[in-house]
Structure 1
Amino acid sequence: MTPHVKWSIVGIVLGLILLIWLPWWATAGIVVLAIGIPAAAYMSLDASQRRRYRELRRRKALR
């Protein structure tokens, strides 16, 4: 399994656990923040920074 799949499985399990312990709207807010913060950080990069980040991830994946 790739690291992304492992993190996805962990996120789903944690989301289900939180759904049992917290109200649904609190769980939904946590999930939205967990997705939105990294997405907003990536979108705040300019084009050259995004390109460098993609190249870095590509090189790291080839190892």
Structure 2
Amino acid sequence: MEAVARGDGPAVRGGTAMTARTKIILAGVAVGLLLMPWIGWFSLLVVLGIPAVAYLMLDPGQRRRLRRVSRKELGR
């Protein structure tokens, strides 16, 4: 069955019409579903990575001070 263009509307094949906008929306949904597991891992990396990078950016004296303050707050 051949696709037949009817005026300004979408091409019709077998009674089903899909506009370009519909195709883009379906592609976006498919990509979103495929990337959904990665969103959780990415958010976990951000939550753990930002404090780790911030700690590593401190110089040794600042790290010692931070450890000392942390121990005092814990009651050691």
Q: Which residue of 2 aligns with 1:38?
A: 51
TM-score by length of 1: 0.63
Give the helix-richer structure, 1 or 2: 1
3-state DSSP of counterpart to 1:23: helix
**What is the aligned length?**
42
Gaps of 5+ in 2: 1-34
3-state DSSP of counterpart to 1:55: helix
State the structure with bigger RCO (CA 8 A, min sep 6), 1 or 2: 1
Percentage of pairs with the same residue = 40
TM-score by length of 2: 0.52
RMSD over aligned CA atoms reads 1.6
Gaps of 5+ in 1: 1-21
Once superposed, which parts of structure 1, at least 4 consecutive aligned residues long, lie more than 6 Å away?
A: none
